Chains A and B, each alone.
Chain A
Amino acid sequence: MPTRFSFLASRLSQTVLVLWVVATLLFLIFRLMPGNPLVAYIDPNFTAEVQQALLRQFGLDQPLHVQYAVFLSNLVRGEFGRSFFSREPVSQVMWQVLPNTLVLTLSALLLAYAVGVVGGALLAARRGTWAEAWGIPAVLATRAAPEFWVGMLALALFSFTLNWFPSSGATSPGSAYSTWWAQVASWDFLRHLTLPALTLALYLQGLPTLLMRSTMLEVMDEDFITFCRMRGLPERTILLRHAARNALLPVVTAFALGIGYSIGGNVIIETVFSWPGLGRTLVRAVAAKDYPVAQAAFFLIAVVMIVMNFVADLLYSLLDPRVSHERQ
């Protein structure tokens, strides 16, 4: 349909514009920070000539607008350069840690939202009872409790006391798998994934639970629910079939946005559980002024967030026929 197509086109161009602004800001922040940008790369034994040669090689002796042009052209081609720290291509650095982060984030989010949706619906159904009176503070507490504290407690209990789960890494020491998929499907990997994913899920489920509960309460007030009751449908069917499905819409979009938020922000979980992910890599890159990796990681996070934002909008318009992006 022409109007939907033009909606897509306009959103796409908006996305590109936002990405360009983000890229420019990233460029400026790193270039304008005080200090020698190559400090992490150059060691004191380098002579002045070698340092100059390196500055030239990285283009850091060029005027800012020339650097900017080079930066943009590289960005468009997906060329992020080489890490100052490990000297390997940035894309390789990211590929080594990004899959681990994706697995952790997605599994935690799926678990959190599954539990949150059910929990939220139940809380809405039990309005005014003691379950609600205890439930809401409990959910708020999980959200307020610091992730590292919960993580350390989980380690102390499930790993060090009960010995049910290992305490660090994504796989057992010295283990090797033929492909990454073989590793992810292995029992060993799942055992290592459990504690960090559970800790993260505990933190994340607060949002979908309370969101689901409040939208459910709104939906339960609507006319069609009253009509269902008049028809004599069992409460359970009303709850699950009619109310919950409608209340799910904001939660679905929150899920899409949640992926965007979580993609780079798990550094605490990754540090507590020694999970080899993107968050730790990013923090280390910023601290060590490893510009290429830091830039690429920030840009990746921005891309994911903006794309997921777009996806959330699309989902909403797909799921709810009342919402339309077409011009009236």
Chain B
Amino acid sequence: MIRILVRIAVAVVVLTLTAGAVAVGQTQDRRVRELILLTRPQAVDPQEFEMARLLAPEFEKLGLKVTVRVMPWEQLADYVWYSRDKWDMTMWQMVGRAERSDPDEFTFNLFHASTAEKGYNFVGYINSTYNGIAEAQRIKTDLKVRRQLIFEAQKIIARDVPYVFLVFPQSSYAYNNTVWDPKSVVEQKGIGLKNFWTFDAATPRGTQKDFVLNTADPVQAINPLFISGSTDSWITELIWDRLLRVGPDGLPRPWAAEKVEWVDSVTLDVTLRRGMKFHDGHPVTADDVIFSFTAPMGDEVPMYKPFVRVIDKIEKRSDTVIRFTLKDPYAPFLTSSLAKVNIIPKHIWEPVLADLAKKPENAESYQEQVPVGSGPYKFVQWKKAEEVVLEANPDHFAAPKARRWVLRIIPNVEAALGGLRNGELNFLSVYGGDPQILDQLAKQTPSITVVSTMDIGMRFLAFNLRRPPYDDLAVRQALNMAANKKAIRSVVFKGYATVADSFVSPALEYWHNAEVPKLNYNIKAARDVLAKAGYEWDADGRLLYPKGKVETLVGK
């Protein structure tokens, strides 16, 4: 009798334990896996690293286990770009450039379905309504209509949360106001003091007529067919001209082109300015301009190819008039193409590109010994790892007031700051340190002026929408509500940033939609959103998928 009772008791215990184990196993199955948050190393980008470290504990308050994983930039870019099904979430940034003053690049490239497999839409956002809007804003040349479409696009993205937008940082630049006349230094919206217009127009006040500025990394290439880095592009902007340039107001204005006229929605006539010469004395002709736009259409110039893809044909109507015919109407053509492509001398590059066509390398491997352009500055010398020297081109129609432009490579932040203070540098163009220190320096030293400008570029957290749980809107909303953006702004950026709710910066006043739906930082409300969507929490506080759904990606 006792033996039977004992056996029954043992059976009951075993069954309960099994049921419990199965139940736990089932909740283990439903438990959301450990999520990996990728970021660049602290030594490389302390702000990005700190943002990741602030976000992870807040996400854990929702019941998730989040691990911050550091990867060097090249590896991170490789992983996110080429292994699109492997990563969970990553810190990322889009850098502010003058050409990005037109919102088309972000609107289309970041979220249109066509760039999801290989392009900038690495999060995998697919929304056919959004596709329609992104395509429509490209072809509407009526500014007001385009504006409404861009506003609508921002609203959709704010609602769907493929990113958690974090901040638009402010860039601080400083210069010596006893060397450069403050009235001639130009602040460009979304870019700051360090821009083409300052380098062209700044007027020296005293005996020092050379720009002496700094950068932290070595220059990789001085090549008009290669976008090799932000520092390198300051140099290309000065040595080569473009048909149009993005002005300090963020809108394109005529430069090498005297005027630009839309004949119809796909046809544009560009009149080339007369009297322009390359630095080797050859005149700039319509043939050079046509060559500059047809060269990237081949396979030798991959980085510029997307910017000429919309061109159907280019005809020379006269010595100075060039007619562009587009495949489809394309409103951003002036900013993203005509203000982007460099005008290169055909007599130099045609044989070079013909030779490269026979080899697997492309134009990015070619470095001219003495780069020749038609721009306001001419190349003088390049001491690798030390400095690049350019001198003013007196024959240019907008010849600079400065005599030379000398870029020094200074990897040490404190040395750069000290160099500004003691006069070795007269323009601080790269500063990776504490912006408060720079402000203090300006207050203590009347000869130094510091200007902080909100950037076009932004910092954000990207979700991989191809992988659960990010395919669920409720989870993305909850994570957005768990991100303390105000804390990031004050702690990480010391107040030198603006909280971001959209991919269009407030610096672009015309295009920025201030009325997008915003989700404020609120952990409790975030948990409510999850609860309403059917998520639960287990005994350990870990988040569980709604009933019927299990975690399929453990260990992947």
Q: Which residues of A contact B (CB under 8 A)?
A: 35-36, 39-40, 43-47, 50, 53-54, 56-57, 82, 85-88, 93, 96-97, 152, 155-156, 159-160, 163, 166-171, 173-174, 176, 271-274, 276-277, 280-281, 284, 287-289
Is there contact, CB below 8 Å, between A50 and B362? Answer: yes
Contacting pair A280 B385 (CB below 8 A): yes
Which chain A positions have C-beta within 8 A of B303?
A: 43, 45
On whether the beta carbons of A96 and B389 are closer than 8 Å, the reply is no
User: Is B104 an interface position by the 8 A CB rule?
Assistant: no
* Contact between B361 and A57, CB atoms less than 8 A apart: yes
Residue of A53, A82, A276 touching B383 (CB-CB under 8 A) = A276
Smallest CB–CB gap between B67 and chain A, Å? Answer: 19
B413 to chain A: closest CB distance in Å?
10
| A274-B409 contact given A46-B302, A97-B384, CB 8 Å threshold | yes
Q: B534 at interface (Cβ–Cβ under 8 A)? A: no
B 367-412 contacts with A by CB, 8 A? 367, 380-381, 383-387, 389, 404, 406, 408-412
B220 within 8 A of A: yes
Q: Which of B393-441 contact A (CB under 8 A)?
A: 404, 406, 408-412, 414-416, 418-419, 421-422, 424
The reply on B546 being an interface residue by CB < 8 A is no
C-alpha spacing A277/B412, complex, angstroms: 14
Q: B305 — nearest CB in chain A belongs to which residue?
A: A45
| Cβ-closest chain B residue relative to A270 | B411
Cα of A159 to Cα of B419 in the assembled complex, Å: 9
CB of B78 within 8 A of CB of A160, answer no
B216-231 residues at the A interface, CB under 8 angstroms: 218, 220-221
Which single member of A87, A163, A170, A289 contacts B74 (CB below 8 Å)? A289
Interface centre among A36, A40, A156, A173 (most CB of B within 10 A): A173
- Whether the pair B404, A174 counts as a contact (CB closer than 8 A) is yes
Q: Which of A57, A155, A163, A171 sits near B415, CB closer than 8 Å?
A: A155
Contact of B408 among A46, A88, A169 (CB under 8 A): A169
Having A171-B386, A276-B409, A288-B74, one finds 17 other A-B pairs with CB under 8 Å, namely: A35-B78, A40-B74, A45-B302, A46-B302, A87-B364, A88-B367, A97-B385, A152-B414, A159-B422, A168-B416, A168-B419, A174-B389, A174-B406, A272-B415, A273-B412, A274-B415, A276-B384
A288 proximity list for chain B (CB < 8 A): 74
State the Cβ distance, B419 to closest chain A Cβ, in Å.
5
Q: How many whole Å from B312's CB to the nearest CB in chain A?
A: 22
Task: Please state if A45 and B384 are interface contacts (CB–CB under 8 Å).
Answer: no
- Bound complex: CA A289 to CA B74 (Å): 9
Q: How far is the CB of B438 from chain A (nearest CB, A)?
A: 16
Q: Are A160 and B421 in contact (CB under 8 A)?
A: yes
Q: How far is the CB of A156 from chain B (nearest CB, A)?
A: 8
In the assembled complex, the CB of B248 is this many whole angstroms from the nearest CB of chain A, namely 27
Which residues in A have their C-beta under 8 angstroms from that of B448? none
| Least CB separation from B71: chain A residue | A35
Q: In whole angstroms, how far apart are the Cα atoms of A48 and B361 in the complex?
A: 14
A-B contacts, 25 listed (Cβ < 8 Å)? A44-B118, A57-B361, A86-B367, A96-B385, A97-B385, A152-B414, A155-B418, A159-B418, A159-B422, A160-B421, A163-B422, A167-B415, A167-B418, A167-B419, A168-B410, A168-B416, A168-B424, A173-B387, A173-B408, A174-B210, A174-B387, A276-B383, A276-B384, A276-B409, A281-B385
| A155, A167, A273, A277 pick with most chain B CB within 10 angstroms | A167
Give CA–CA (A53, B362) in the complex, Å.
Answer: 11
* Binary contact track B49-76/A, C-beta < 8 Å → 1, others 0: 0000000000000000000000010110
The complex places the Cα of A173 from the Cα of B391 at a distance, in Å, of: 13
Contact A87 B221 (CB under 8 A): yes
CA distance A67 to B79 in the complex (A): 25
How distant is A206 from chain B, measured CB to nearest CB, in Å? 24
Q: How far is the CA of A321 from the CA of B421 in the complex (A)?
A: 58
Bound Cα distance from A325 to B187, whole angstroms: 73
Cβ-defined partner of A39 (8 Å) among B75, B212, B387: B75
Q: Tell me which residues across on chain B come within 8 A of A45, comparing CB atoms.
A: 302-303, 305-306
In contact, B411 and A274 (Cβ under 8 angstroms): yes
- Tell me, rounded to whole Å, the shortest Cβ–Cβ distance linking B117 to chain A: 12
